[in-house]
Amino acid sequence: MNPLVMMGTLIMAIGGVERQVDLEQRYDLSLPLVAGAEGPSAWYVGPPRMEPVRANGWVGAVAEGGSVNFRDVFFNPHGHGTHTECVGHITEVVHSVNEVVLPTFMPALVISLEPEVRGEDRVFPAAALRERVESLAQKGQAVALVVRTLPNDPAKQLKNWSNTNPTYFEAEGLAFLADFGVDHLLVDLPSVDREEDGGALAAHRAFWQVDGLVRMQATITEFTFVPDEVSDGWYALNLQTAAFVNDATPSRPLLHPLKP
């Protein structure tokens, strides 16, 4: 699964077939952190703030006469923009996502799923997730899995998800992904679990296997957006993360197409 560099060309083998990584083309799946209410949010947090430092008559804003722009940034990594989290999100010890070693490029399978309506809920059934993944991959192939929710409404890029009961995964589905060898899950939702679940976090717990041999190397990336021009199938993923010593950090997933 490790990509090889051959004469300046990046080669990735998937299922015994070598594919060339197209480094000239990429799809940015991240939703940027924007001051104010223009970006996506969840979990009842206020909008991000970026404010010039003001001290002793000096202001960190060139527009206001300062020598440089020098701003404090106030945000919540889980509630604002694309972020990547590790098992420290749900454990007593706040493990740092910065300790997770991410491959520079990893095989990533993109799939699209339409949730099943169950009363007031919209759910990705474990059986549907399993069927879609197994139809496109062999066990151990997909180091990363990118899930696009259908319909792929562009409005989700700016949505305030608080108190909207977003789509979520059955815990059995994420237990399947863990067993299948998926270490890095990327979703276009604020969470893999139900918004109000009494603190169970069953899907998180199943993916990280916190009741067994904990998967310290596994990550979940939320608040992505997969453009319609990205078809289902295989890509090379470059998952860029900021060096935060925290359970979650802002991130920028980049998908590169694969050539025959």
- Is position 57 within any domain? no
Position 39 scores a pLDDT of 80
- Is position 111 within any domain? yes
CATH number at residue 88: 3.50.30.50
Reported as half-sphere exposure (CB side, CA atoms, 13 A), residue 191 has a value of: 28
For residue 212, give every residue at least 6 positions away whose Cβ sits within 8 Å of its Cβ, in sequence order, or none: none
- Structural domain boundaries, residue 161: 4-33+78-259
How confident is the model over 199-208, as a mean pLDDT?
98
Write out the E strands in 154-204.
168-169, 184-187
- Give the residue carrying structure tokens 């939703």: 31
For residues 97 and 244, the answer to whether their CB atoms sit within 8 Å is: yes
Q: What percent of the chain has pLDDT over 90?
A: 92
For residues 19 and 234, the answer to whether their CB atoms sit within 8 Å is: yes
- Is position 112 within any domain? yes
Position 38 scores a pLDDT of 75
- Is position 61 within any domain? no
Measured in degrees and rounded to the nearest 5, phi and psi for residue 36 equal: 95, -165
Distance of CA 39 to the CA centre of its chain: 16
- Is position 148 within any domain? yes
Three-state SS letters, 108-142: EEEEEECCEEECCEEEECHHHHHHHHHHHCCCCCC
Task: Count how many domains the chain has.
Answer: 1
For 40-50, the pLDDT digits (tens) are 899 999 999 99
Position 209 scores a pLDDT of 97
